[in-house]
Structure 1
Amino acid sequence: MKRNIQVLLLLFTGVGLLHISLLTDLYLRYVRPGLRPALIASGVLLIVLGAVSAARDGFPFNRPRTDHDHGHGGHQGGGHQGHGHDHSQGPRIAWLLYVPALTILFLAPPALGSYTAARDEAKAKAPTAGDSLFPALPQSGIVELSLNDFSSRAVWDTDGTLRGHTVRLTGFVTPGRHGTWYVSRLAISCCAADATVRKVRVHGATPPPADAWVTVTGTWHPTGKVGTDDASPALDATTVKRVPAPKDPYNDAVATRPGR
């Protein structure tokens, strides 16, 4: 039984990895796009290892036991009769190892969302010496910004380049305290385990359901003293529109350009 678990677990896990990385884009819920080749290679390797193990053991997996399989206890003293015990029997709890493998294959968990964003404190990236001056925004039209860019400008841009501009932000809804809510994004360096939060408080609009993806259009709402940690990113919303979730939920990169 224990051998069966090992072989099938390799096969299921390998098929699951290929399912989310080769046949679909589900892997983007967990890792950066650049790791796709590594996931595909890992899936192929696990399937090959499982197939080799299965072929070595023969089919069906539980081979008929021979006299040799009964151990050496049959012709030795009673003190060694324990050698006839079937050591292939593993703990029944080992079957639980199938749960994560089958989950990846049939029910891929969603990307991180409002639960994570609500429990982590967002920190706007402070400009380095080379980034001390934020580029000017287009003079006309709605400017589409990433949450990271908007947050950095709202907190650290003492020149006030956001002032007088209508901007558009896209992210998922994160409920806050006392009826407040945020449009949020999560950024990752490698995988979902190292996710960091970007969120902007939205004023003047009724919040959609938690985790709903939205595009919020509005103007900068100054909060706190810009250039210090007292400032926080906020937006006075004019419109809130539901949008489909992106394939890559962690990619917040947006070219600064006038919106349509």
Structure 2
Amino acid sequence: MRRYGPAVLLLLSGAAILRISLFSEVYLRYVQPGLRPFLIASGVVLVLLGAVSGWRSARDRANHSHEGHSHAHGPRVALLLAVPALALLLSPPPALGSYSAEREAARYAAQGVGTFPELPAGDPVDLTLGEYTSRAIYDSERSLKGRTVRMTGFVTREENEDDEGDDGTWYLTRLLVSCCAADAAPYRIEIREADAPPADAWVTVTGTWHPKGDLGTDGAWPPVLDATSVKRVAEPRNPYEKR
């Protein structure tokens, strides 16, 4: 079995990559859509390399059998690398959720106070969390005033530092991915006037902007929304925020 270890590892890795990128859209949990062709290509290359490696191992084994001896190839510890490949193949990890969002303090928003383009006519207007955050914190024209907005994200909760549990504060959250899940950073909007759904639940929230703090200051962070409707929804095909 050790003789075929490298071939098995290559085949498993290639199959796992193809499983999430070619035969499903699970890859969207980890990378941007534009990287799909590269994932598929790398998966195909790994499968081909594994097949060639397996064929050469079988050929060498046949030759050694005729000569009356054989040799083991590669350390057994290398086979441990097959474990993450199997996990990705059989049960891919979920997209990043509230735990990752709460560990990251990075804020992606427009820099500096200024004006923004007018919002589309009609209410509610659909916004990304990034768009709402930028306008709430930096828009000198206060374009959110008097408008009803609608956004989709997952639920994160606020924990008290004195270990007495949460204080009822909750946030609509979405992670922004520039390249892959490793660089994910959250947008977070405090939701008021509505009970909190379970953590990590996906919801669509409709409501109105609640002014807070001075523009462009820490006092305006995080932005606030007074909710008029909170609806449970399925996780989107692409769970990450669009830039």
TM-score using structure 2 length: 0.88
Higher alpha-carbon deviation: 240-249 or 54-63: 54-63
> Which residue type is aligned with residue 21 of structure 1?
S
Corresponding residue of 2:83: 99
2:175 aligned counterpart, secondary structure:
strand
C-alpha displacement of 1:59: 7.2
> Which residue type is aligned with residue 235 of structure 1?
L
Structure-to-structure mapping, 1:150-165, within 5 angstroms = 150-165=132-147
Give the Cα–Cα distance (whole angstroms) in 1 for the partners of residues 224 and 106 of structure 2: 12
Give the Cα–Cα distance (whole angstroms) in 2 for the partners of residues 230 and 63 of structure 1: 75
How has the CA–CA distance of structure 1 residues 89 and 152 changed in structure 2, closer, same or farther, with 3 Å as cutoff?
A: closer
Structure-to-structure mapping, 1:185-200, within 5 angstroms = 185-200=174-189
Give the Cα–Cα distance (whole angstroms) in 2 for the partners of residues 59 and 197 of structure 1: 53
Corresponding residue of 1:121: 105
User: Tell me, which stretches of 5 or more residues in structure 2 are unaligned?
Assistant: 160-166
C-alpha displacement of 1:88: 3.3
1:155·1:229 contact (CA, 8 Å) conserved in 2? no
1:38 aligns with 2:38: yes
Corresponding residue of 1:73: none
Superposed CA RMSD? 2.3
How has the CA–CA distance of structure 1 residues 10 and 224 changed in structure 2, closer, same or farther, with 3 Å as cutoff?
A: same
Corresponding residue of 2:162: none
Corresponding residue of 2:156: 174
1:244 aligns with 2:228: no
2:215 pairs, out of 190, 206, 226, with: 226
Corresponding residue of 1:202: 191
Aligned-pair identity (%)? 51
The superposition leaves residues 59-78 of structure 1 with CA deviations (integer Å, 9 ceiling, x where unpaired) of: 797986566747xxxxxxxx
Corresponding residue of 2:15: 15
Give the Cα–Cα distance (whole angstroms) in 1 for the partners of residues 34 and 86 of structure 2: 24
> Which residue type is aligned with residue 120 of structure 1?
E
Corresponding residue of 1:90: 75
> Which residue type is aligned with residue 143 of structure 1?
V
Give the Cα–Cα distance (whole angstroms) in 1 for the partners of residues 61 and 193 of structure 2: 64
Give the Cα–Cα distance (whole angstroms) in 1 for the partners of residues 156 and 106 of structure 2: 12
Give the Cα–Cα distance (whole angstroms) in 2 for the partners of residues 139 and 114 of structure 1: 33
2:152·2:202 contact (CA, 8 Å) conserved in 1? yes
User: Tell me, which stretches of 5 or more residues in structure 1 are unaligned?
Assistant: 71-85, 254-260
Structure-to-structure mapping, 1:138-157, within 5 angstroms = 138-157=120-139
How has the CA–CA distance of structure 1 residues 61 and 152 changed in structure 2, closer, same or farther, with 3 Å as cutoff?
A: farther
Structure 1 runs, 4 residues or longer, greater than 3 Å off = 59-70, 86-89
Count of residues paired in the alignment: 235
The superposition leaves residues 39-65 of structure 1 with CA deviations (integer Å, 9 ceiling, x where unpaired) of: 000000001000001111117979865
C-alpha displacement of 1:163: 0.8
TM-score using structure 1 length: 0.83
C-alpha displacement of 1:185: 0.6
C-alpha displacement of 1:89: 6.5
2:7 aligned counterpart, secondary structure:
helix
> Which residue type is aligned with residue 171 of structure 1?
G
1:215 pairs, out of 193, 201, 204, with: 204
> Which residue type is aligned with residue 230 of structure 2?
V
2:3·2:72 contact (CA, 8 Å) conserved in 1? no
